[in-house]
């Protein structure tokens, strides 16, 4: 996997989320790569934790059927007491996962929409 296609997306998230941006991971059906990690985050067990999180992201399913009036499944968000995971699905088995500080969840819908536009523009 190459970090190159995601440079613009990571730069956008850094500008938008600032110090709230923790990590970004791109993933496919059988591989994943950390494309950004904030310098102050602990490195101990990072690979193991990231692998477990990616497995969960790969397993995310839509709450609605594909023929839902909501349209296509694009992203999922998990809010925790001290953090946020945002998963932007490029297709059912590939995507990008962000971890953010909880305060980054303000104006989340607009943020995710802009991320999707940048990601999809990069992959055309």
Give CA torsion, residues 119, 59, 29, 44, to 10 deg.
90
What sign has the CA pseudo-torsion 10, 92, 121, 77? Answer: negative
Q: What pLDDT, on a 0 to 100 scale, did the predictor assign at position 92?
A: 73
Q: What pLDDT, on a 0 to 100 scale, did the predictor assign at position 29?
A: 92
The structural domain count of the chain equals 1
Residues in the chain where the model's pLDDT stays below 70: 1-3, 123-124
What sign has the CA pseudo-torsion 48, 34, 87, 90? Answer: negative
Q: What pLDDT, on a 0 to 100 scale, did the predictor assign at position 3?
A: 62
Nearest to 75 by CA among 103, 110, 102, 45: 110
Q: Which domain holds residue 15?
A: 4-122
Q: What pLDDT, on a 0 to 100 scale, did the predictor assign at position 2?
A: 60
Tens of pLDDT, residue by residue over 50-69, are 999 999 898 888 888 878 88
- CATH (domain of 39): 3.30.450.190
């Amino acid at each position: 996997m190459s970090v190159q296609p995601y440079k613009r997306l990571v730069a956008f998230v850094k500008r938008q989320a600032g110090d709230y941006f923790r990590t970004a991971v791109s993933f496919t059906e059988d591989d994943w790569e950390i494309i950004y990690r904030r310098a102050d985050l602990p490195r101990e067990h990072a690979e193991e934790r990231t692998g477990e999180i990616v497995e969960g992201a790969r397993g995310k399913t839509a709450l609605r059927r594909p023929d839902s009036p909501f349209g296509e499944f694009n992203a999922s968000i998990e809010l925790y007491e001290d953090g946020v995971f945002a998963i932007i699905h490029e297709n059912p088995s590939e995507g990008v996962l962000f971890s953010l500080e909880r305060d980054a969840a303000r104006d989340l819908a607009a943020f995710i929409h802009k991320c999707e536009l940048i990601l999809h523009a990069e992959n055309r």
